[in-house]
Amino acid sequence: MSPAPKVAVKTGWSIGPVTPRVGLNIAMIATLAVVPVYAALTGNAFALTLFTRVVILAIAALSLNLIMGFGGMVSFGHAAYLGIGGYAVGILAKEGIGSGFVQWPIAVAAAALYALIVGALSLRTRGVYFIMITLAFAQMIYYVAIGLDRYGGDDGLTIYHRSSFGGLINLSNRIVFYYFCFGLLLVGIYLVWRIVNSRFGMVIRGARSNERRMRAIGFPTFRYQLVCFVIAGAMCGLAGALLANHTDFISPAMMHWTRSGDLIVMVVLGGMQAMFGPLIGALTFLILEEGLSRLTEYSNLILGPLLLVVAISIHGGIDGLITGQRGG
């Protein structure tokens, strides 16, 4: 389990000569930057909707990559944070609190608190047990949401007004909203890059590589992993707040366990421990899903095996394929 070893040695994101990886990343960022222009010129509003979703889920996948890719903590309940962030926005909106300055901090704080509780319990276990506990908690939250009759229960809840930030930014403008999410994604990638190369990041990565050894040289690994878990939860909670604003709707379906699975697939597909891996993964996954569903009703019959092939044959995901580092 050591994809792209050469990369992990240094920074995981080398700024140097234009390698295939840097070329791909630049092309990807450039493409994403002109999506609204394309949508406006062609009148294809759907492209903007799709790519907004890509960018938001890339933030969620980015947060998962922090704990799963760099920290070796395979959380199978990551969609719960999307749901918590989304419901925080939706519930507050319904109760008449429309300010994003209130909604978003609460969304992030609620997700962080949930991460603290789940992490404190799940991080005492490893492997399959860790996966099962994170899943069990996510299922619990899922059923809690179904039970919230006041907020739509199983049917979900429509959000009539997007979060307002005074006159600062108008999120109801879809182009503004897209660039806002895109900006947050870039900031998020930069933050994760700083974190994984900091002292804190070295502890997290060391614990993935050999936790017993880390304790022997004097690191209390648990507290670092817990903090990492909370950072990832908070980041994904923010993605949830964005997602609720994007769809103007929340429902328990956004934290169904298959959504957690999708996030894992995005991270693995894009390339674990690669800075732009989660974005590559989200982009590929959502475009494939969309494209295949137009071709055939049985899109999952194609998507499933395709992902299987990627997971088995290229350990570093698409990023690993591009850089020629297949690891494993």
Q: Which is nearer to another protein, 227 or 292 (CB)?
A: 227
Q: Position of tokens 């907004």?
A: 52
- Which residue stretch of 9-17, 148-156, 235-243, 280-288 sits at the interface with another protein (rule: CB under 8 A)? 9-17
Q: Which is nearer to another protein, 11 or 313 (CB)?
A: 11
Q: How far is the CB of 76 from another protein (least distance, A)?
A: 25
Which alpha helices (DSSP H) does 217-276 contain, by range? Answer: 221-247, 257-270
- From candidates 23, 147, 220, 328, binder to another protein by CB under 8 A: 220
> What are the tokens at 194?
């700083």
> What are the tokens at 166?
């005074």
CB count in 10 Å sphere of residue 227:
16
- From candidates 100, 188, 201, 278, binder to another protein by CB under 8 A: 201
Q: How far is the CB of 184 from another protein (least distance, A)?
A: 18
Cα dihedral: 198, 18, 182, 241 (round 10): -40
Which alpha helices (DSSP H) does 123-166 contain, by range? Answer: 127-147
**Residues 222-251 within binding reach of another protein (CB under 8 A):** 224, 227
CB count in 10 Å sphere of residue 212:
8
> Taking the chain, what is the end-to-end CA distance rounded to the nearest angstrom?
6
Buried b (16+ CB within 10 A) or exposed e, 98-119: bebeebbebbbebbbebbbebb
Continuous segment of H or E residues that includes residue 86: helix 79-94
* Binding flag, residue 202, another protein (CB under 8 A): yes
Q: Which is nearer to another protein, 71 or 86 (CB)?
A: 71
- From candidates 128, 187, 194, 291, binder to another protein by CB under 8 A: 194
- Tell me how many degrees the CA angle 4-7-12 measures, rounded to the nearest 5: 115
* Binding flag, residue 200, another protein (CB under 8 A): yes
- From candidates 146, 158, 219, 256, binder to another protein by CB under 8 A: 219
- Which residue stretch of 17-25, 81-89, 197-205, 314-322 sits at the interface with another protein (rule: CB under 8 A)? 197-205
* Binding flag, residue 317, another protein (CB under 8 A): no
- From candidates 58, 203, 239, 264, binder to another protein by CB under 8 A: 203
E strands, 167-326, are: 249-250
In degrees and rounded to multiples of 5, residue 272 shows phi and psi of -65, 145
- From candidates 26, 34, 213, 291, binder to another protein by CB under 8 A: 213
Say whether 126 sits in a helix, a strand or coil: coil
Q: How far is the CB of 63 from another protein (least distance, A)?
A: 15
Q: Which is nearer to another protein, 12 or 83 (CB)?
A: 12
Check if the beta carbon of residue 284 is closer than 8 Å to that of residue 314. no
C-alpha to C-alpha distance for 48 and 226, rounded to whole angstroms: 36
Q: Position of tokens 């926005």?
A: 89
* Binding flag, residue 145, another protein (CB under 8 A): no
- Per-residue interface string for the shown chain with another protein, residues 11-50, x marking contact by CB under 8 A: x---------------------------------------
Check if the beta carbon of residue 225 is closer than 8 Å to that of residue 73. yes
* Binding flag, residue 218, another protein (CB under 8 A): yes
* Binding flag, residue 172, another protein (CB under 8 A): no
* Binding flag, residue 199, another protein (CB under 8 A): yes
- From candidates 173, 198, 258, 296, binder to another protein by CB under 8 A: 198
* Binding flag, residue 195, another protein (CB under 8 A): yes
Check if the beta carbon of residue 177 is closer than 8 Å to that of residue 39. no
Binding residues vs another protein (CB under 8 A): 2, 5-6, 8-11, 194-195, 197-203, 205-206, 209-210, 212-221, 224, 227
